[in-house]
Structure 1
């Protein structure tokens, strides 16, 4: 096999500096084979560091159960496996196989991930090959679910057969996942002894695009025509969505493609967002969360070449020396959008077209029952923090297994760690709802909206990066926040809460209205000011909040919000508008024993002329906010400006 060299431009020449240790591991791996293949056959309970790095490309992380750590004894090594399933698609056969594997080799539960996949935890090294082989033989894959390459591609999980843009988004998530899938035969050699269980037919356009070498996007005669010997500098994340649907956290991706159709629903092309990313490191200011920029638009015939051009830009110019600086968001930050676009266009071979105007984004969770538009139904099932298990009165895992076995319905994992079961016959709808009820699965309209919108990463005990709890404590945290809001006269208030056990941001806390980021045992960095529709980055408000001080910390913020918010204003929007200085000043002077809230304002009617009213209707459609809120904000801004200009 031909070993393709690292592009010297990406390294700013070997004379300037060395590459990271991992670049050498990738180069010596013979396209993701060694030392993994050799160590898999050895009678040990864990892999060496080099094998662990290659194992990631195959969809697995080596972890240890930190609850079982005993000083002086060897760690309880376990493997976590993650599925690769574009758009969250899980066929019935695969789900049942994963469910069975969780009992046979795992901890007896599954986890729905924030990238629309499934994770299996607790697998011993000796059982890893059998587990991966079973997944492959049941129409699944773990290849590329981790590692320095394109990860699982996200797409809206809704199945609207009468809305072509949704079907197009899911179709292209599949096609681009195929385009960027590693081509090495190592995966099947290692896990299936060289035999492919199922031959998947790729679209001819995908096959052709992978080989076409436009302006250096492809390595000729390489086992990996797009990635080359060294793959990507770091992980690479993509999503495909439709205008207005932000169920995929579009601004957090390395690349998001937005489907553009004509009035008849026919695909015209794609808007491109690029440069988002959540991971950062505490006390390392050179690392930061970032939201994606608008890059441009391409016609449908050019989308594969455009994707290759973006991948090649990051592949060849991303930092391969300092891994903390290796994500594409830093390339966008360092270069700026114009230089980045110019480099993409040099690989693409022509200019990108201007980004097309989009409607306001809205977060959708797709919980509950929806008509598909073809006579069938889909139902979104709430899963608190993504954990699928049986626990006393809640027997979610048994419910899903029974439904999938009995009705053979496929599912899609959502980006909020829930599940959508679809293609449900009308005659089966009532029986499926009864099964969910009988197994204690709460109906969406009975789930606190704040719980519906919340997310948490697994963290302890399995994640080696976690510095504190996340999934295991967020139910208590949400309960305490709800109790405090109720005490302060805000019983129905809700906002986006996300929590992670470390700063890597797997649950995307930096987009939350209230984000908890693990900073020390039982302590969190607090982020405020994200938007309800996940289009604005939050900011760090306090570096370390001990969890037992939660109510003391949040009460003045909630009181200030309650008494000074604009009509219909969300908590995140309020924090962003009034400034952190104002929040801190109010909190510093707040005394719960003496503070008197502002009296509730009396409302007055104000008339507008017809032409102004028509403009207001346009604003409502564009912004997705109530007319009363828009007018109240406009009047408040005008009055504030008038008073400032007139010294009042």
Structure 2
């Protein structure tokens, strides 16, 4: 088969995947090499399919270069956990691993899962084995496959939570790679002699690029359904989920200086029944597998496949794969993208606390011991933990008695829920520096400081409680979904950011570039002018994102191809 493939016209990653023997590569040899803290270049691509990214501490790069040492290599490990729900025992496992092998913190991601940062190569295998012993895993958390499937996070909000989380799990299982490489390399499972490893769905080169799926229950859009390659919007009629509106073609990644790359919001393309949902997910992925761009990885996501061929083509091709048509989409209303904080009694008659975790970083600092508090809560709770798509955590399924105990634990560790500004509670930041190799500027470490300064501005105009979505990333790849924020900040250089305005509060519209490559002082100055005007001339209940478009600060972006940096 390889003789029939013209590798010269394809991305080099396509050949790496093909030659990897279904994701084995030379990972075993790379892990055993004591000379370096890194793995081979080709293995850095293959390791992503196993849930791993090789990184280096950029804060130490100059010092190590001066000492003629290689970069301070370490690894990010991302867990696969559809729907974001874990047991207390699993939380305790991840907490312990973060202390034993990582940097002592847990990162809660925008895809409802854990990341461990700072794991050394010598500890990779042990860490992944212990993750698996807790009945979690890391396979397919990264790489050119379907990633962690997201869904509506809070069971307090809806009696349909369990149904959608089961769908998220089923889709995740259905689209898992079938290679046994993961089990051989990390869990010491032996390949049966004479057996042949195949990937009946993914083939020998997997997908052209990563693929993301999410499910929401209106009116909540808590996993940004229009940012997903494939989304399902639950339609509730007469007290049950009668089906799902299908959304296709979302994606946030873009590249500075490459105008043919852009973020895109997905299109609602039809409606399917609950029984059809897994089949629809498989066939949408299959269309992308067969028609996605394998020559240029910057053009390889489903959004570009759709824009290159046309939405009508995509719907017609999907119909061929399905053998039936999706019917007309049903009406729905989405009102917000963020989480609703505090204690709520759910439709299950249990208590659920949605807790704000700034930047998604679970850690101890000074007198505030969030990591210690959540560890202790995991030992006493009679419920479970749910990670949200906004980097927060829900302490779910709690009895009245345990609720009081949890409040006491949070108070003891000085991390009781506080009243915070509408800007801060709607903030998201990617990891960025020091570990992300793609970052041009800070994000997670800096956004809280900037928000504090913006709160002073908002307080001046009596807007501290106004809900405003702000998101910051260190580069334009879009991991924190900045292009859907009412205020988006994307790192351009150290201390400098592009400022974007005009995303919608409910997450269905992209923002637009307002100012390019500006410093903190300029960000504060520009935003104060907008906030001053907003406080004086807004319409009743008008959101900031809608206001800046109405007042012509930026133009409305109606489709991704109109977006520019």
- Say if 2:12 is the partner of 1:39: no
Q: Normalised by the size of structure 1, how large is the TM-score?
A: 0.81
Partner of 2:125: 129
CA contact (8 A) 2:499 2:523 kept: no
- SS for the counterpart of 1:369 is strand
The partner residue of 1:485 within 434, 458, 465 is: 458
| Alignment correspondent of 1:432 | 406
> How far apart, CA to CA, are the structure 2 residues paired with 1:35 and 1:154?
32
Alignment of 1:470-619 (within 5 A): 470-580=443-553
Work out the CA distance in 2 between the residues paired with 1:109 and 1:325: 35
Distance, in Å, in 1 between the alignment partners of 2:533 and 2:129 is: 56
Match of 1:403 in 2: 377
Contact 2:159–2:347 (CA under 8 A) maintained in structure 1: no
1:114 pairs, out of 90, 110, 130, with 110
1:139-158 maps to which residues of 2 (within 5 A)? 139-158=135-154
Mapping for residues 54-453 of structure 1, pairs under 5 Å: 54-69=46-61, 70=63, 71=65, 72-160=68-156, 163-194=158-189, 223-265=198-240, 267-407=241-381, 409-444=383-418, 446-453=419-426
CA drift of 1:372 comes to 2.4
Contact 1:166 1:241 in 2 (8 A): no
Is the contact between residue 382 and residue 402 of structure 2 (CA under 8 Å) also seen in structure 1?
no
SS where residue 256 of structure 1 aligns? Answer: strand
Report the CA distance between 1:338 and its aligned residue: 0.8
Tell me, yes or no, if the aligned pair for 2:423 and 2:464 is still in contact at 8 Å. no
Deviation per CA, 1:169-199, whole angstroms, max 9, x where unpaired?
1110000000001111111111110179xxx
For residue 627 of structure 1, what is the aligned residue in structure 2? none
Contact 1:233 1:326 in 2 (8 A): yes
Partner of 1:601: none
Match of 1:18 in 2: 9
Which residue number corresponds to residue 620 of structure 1?
none
Larger CA deviation: 369-378 vs 429-438: 369-378
**3-state SS of 1:574 partner:** helix
Q: Distance in 1 between matches of 2:436 and 2:554?
A: 35
Conserved 8 A contact 2:501-2:554: no
SS in 1 for 2:137: coil
* Deviation (angstroms), 1:73: 2.4
| Contact persistence 1:226–1:308 (CA under 8 A) | no
CA contact (8 A) 2:179 2:197 kept: no
Q: Secondary structure at the match of 1:269?
A: strand
Structure 1 contact 5–229 (Cα < 8 Å) conserved: no
Contact preservation (8 Å) 1:497, 1:512:
yes
The CA distance in 2 between the partners of 1:164 and 1:229, in whole Å, is 41
Give the whole-Å Cα distance in 1 for the aligned partners of 2:91 and 2:550. Answer: 45
Structure 1 residue 582 displacement after superposition: 9.4
Deviation at 1:14, TM superposition (A): 4.1
Alpha-carbon spacing, 1:282–1:346, altered in 2? closer, same or farther (3 Å):
same
Structure of higher CA gyration radius: 1
Give a deviation string over 1:41-69, Cα, whole Å, max 9, x none. Answer: 22231111100100000001000011111
8 A Cα contact 2:439 2:491, kept in partner: yes
Q: Compared with structure 1, are the counterparts of its residues 171 and 561 closer, same or farther at alpha carbon in structure 2 (3 Å cutoff)? A: same
Instruction: Determine if contact 1:68/1:76 at 8 Å carries over to the other structure.
Output: yes
Higher mean alpha-carbon deviation, 547-556 vs 412-421, is at: 547-556
Question: What stretches of structure 1 move > 6 A for 4+ residues in a row?
Answer: none
Question: C-alpha deviations, 1:429-455, integer Å up to 9, x for none?
Answer: 1111111122121415x1222111101
Tell me by how many angstroms 1:255 deviates: 0.4
Q: CA deviation at 1:160?
A: 4.1
**CA-based RMSD:** 2.0
State the TM-score, normalized to the length of structure 2.
0.93
Deviation at 1:567, TM superposition (A): 1.8
5+ long unaligned stretches in structure 1: 197-220, 584-648
Mapped partners of 2:523, 2:159: distance in 1: 46
CA contact under 8 A between 1:457 and 1:470: conserved in structure 2? yes
Q: CA deviation at 1:562?
A: 2.3
Q: Give the Cα–Cα distance (whole angstroms) in 2 for the partners of residues 372 and 276 of structure 1.
A: 31
Aligned residues: 547
Q: Distance in 2 between the 1:119 and 1:169 partners?
A: 23
Distance 1:127 1:347 in 2: 44
Alpha-carbon distance between aligned partners in 1 of 2:548 and 2:554, rounded to the nearest angstrom: 10
